[in-house]
Amino acid sequence: MLLAAAALVLAGCDSGGGSQSSDGRQQLTVPALPLTDSAALYLARDRGLFAKEGLDVHIEPVQQSIPALPALLKGQVDVIASANHVTYLQA
């Protein structure tokens, strides 16, 4: 699970998402539901796995994944941690 979360965030880096912090780390904002499905994302951040890879990950709690999709298109978030296929189809 940790690797899957890290892969999602790293994929956001490849697409040009995020910005650079003063210490040179890639800053990313990731919306995530407060559910066990997002636990790997929180664990990876808390254990410093993102920092080891030069990433400064800010997790933005959301109550539904639907509002995260327009935020991604507007550049307000860099990567979506998880959503179901219905959410993507609705968007």
What are the chain's domains?
A: 2-90 (3.40.190.10)
Is residue 55 helix, strand or coil? strand
Strand partners for 31: 60
Angstrom distance (rounded) from CA 14 to CA 76? 17
Q: Specify the pLDDT at position 11.
A: 52
What letter does residue 39 receive in the DSSP assignment?
A: H
Tens-level pLDDT at each residue, the chain (91 residues): 554 555 555 555 444 555 666 677 889 988 888 888 888 999 999 999 999 999 999 998 888 777 777 787 888 888 766 666 676 676 6
Q: Specify the pLDDT at position 73.
A: 80
Q: Specify the pLDDT at position 63.
A: 82
